[in-house]
Amino acid sequence: QNSQKRPNSTPETPRPKRSLSSRSPYALFSPSSFSPSVTPSQKYSARSSRGEVVASFGSIQGPSWSGHGGRGCTLELFGPPENNLTKAYKFMFQKALDVREALLWRIEELGDALKSHHHLEDFTSVSLPAQELVTVLGQIGCDANGKLNAKSVVLEGDREHSSGGQIPLDLSELREYSLFPGQVVALEGTNSTGRRMVVSKLYEV
């Protein structure tokens, strides 16, 4: 008989919001009441253990240092004069063609080192279709704006054999590899269509 019915809440008759009672934890506590009161620590400048040796290992043999003033030194350029920078130079103000030439020269130089170190045959073009295994030379690139992953790896071929052409790489047959953009590598694999190379072997510097 004394049971009370719960009021129905509808959009027409919304349930009135209950006011916060005195037993609510939000009314009793505040950020200051949650923080315990502790004794403030001493200031860093007023510490008494400054310069105290806490632990030492081994014997210290005190070396004696003495300077001989009045002695000067002369600087000499190392290497041939044409390879030294002797005048004002603007960093990263090179022309695009000069940067391209330096990168292509780097690929050719490292390609010769790869060929002699791994005893490789002559390199072929990255865009030439071939059913048999071929060896190509180039540098690793990324065809996406994000980070380099197994699906976005491309090989930018050298100028001598590939005329700077690009080809996507299929790395599914490699057991392990570690690549980064700009890395000069020699790859062995099949390029049956001339549009994607299935890599079977990786040669690094």
Q: Helix, strand, or coil here: 12?
A: coil
Q: Which domains does the chain have, with CATH numbers?
A: 90-204 (2.40.50.430)
Give the pLDDT confidence of 141-170 residue by residue, as tens digits: 998 888 898 899 999 999 999 998 999 999
- Comparison of pLDDT for 37 and 54, the residue scoring more: 54
Global pTM value: 0.56
Q: Over range 122-136, report the average pLDDT.
A: 92
Q: Helix, strand, or coil here: 134?
A: strand
Specify the amino acid at residue 184: V
